[in-house]
Structure 1
Amino acid sequence: MDRFSTYFDDSDISKNHDAEHISIIKEEYFSRLIEFIPAIIYTCDVEGRITYYNKAAANFWGANPKIGKDYYYTGWKAFTIEGDPLEIEKTPIAKALKEGKSFNEEIIIENVEGKRFYVECRPKPLFNTSGKLIGLLNSCVDFTKYHMINNKEKEK
């Protein structure tokens, strides 16, 4: 019995269904789960083209990128946490793709609507079974409201 058995009771699946069907159900469940996680989550290929994103990512970008065509940086600008412009090539995502290792950094992103978000980016390189880099998974934690609260308290 696996750790998902509480979510997918095998007794409900008739004898005519095979393990592949169960796997598809589990995949759909976790895809839906990721879709509604409030964290910004997306994947891209080694060139930086978006291969998946959740609703939080679309809200973050202020747009719905075209899968396989748009790049993770399409339409936004990056800044250091101090507010200085940051070249796309120096973002944690770009560095993770170039160097094949994880980078956790706080940056500011200005989306296509001009909204600024203070985020901690946590890009994780993805490798195939041969150890070749095939893309990355990025999750960003939006701490904009906490940044604003802290700045208001400092002004007092």
Structure 2
Amino acid sequence: MNLTAQVLEKLPTRTVFNRVKCLLFLSPLLLASCQFRFNANAWDSESQAQLYIKTLAKGQEAYYRANGKFANSADKLSINVNVDTPEYKYSIVSEGDRAQRVIMTAAAKVEDLPSYAGILRVNATENEVDATVNMCKTESPSTIPPRFPDRVIPGGELNCPPGSVPVQ
């Protein structure tokens, strides 16, 4: 009989069973954490910019539903978003307390990246808030984000400004 078999024979069956059970429980968790780290590092700058704009838009929608107005900074949204990364500078352009829209921008700091702009428009009634979001990116690399027109036609579509294309 080899040494491993002798040791296992002397251990109570319950201890071996508990160790195997613990190992079986932890294996998927360890594998999942490795996979998450791999995927998180694979994000490119453009995907991160799109995610940040979407996150800011969701935060603005929630803030508007709770307060009846848009936040003028990311700090007020209670979300953990770094607004100044090596690749992008993020900002919020609010038009005051009675505004029906807010614009979130990601201005590229690197010459070979596109810039982004997202617009969130609300149509608020006494009973509900209907929110519409659109995100655009510059057609070619640019350090200047797309600029939405100063006036949006109520009920009209949120089209991307010239020189930019919609982001899905």
Higher helix share: 2
Q: Give the TM-score, by structure 1 length.
A: 0.30
Which structure has more relative contact order (CA 8 Å, sep 6+)? It is 1
TM-score (norm 2): 0.29
Work out which of the two has the higher radius of gyration on C-alpha atoms and give 1 or 2.
2
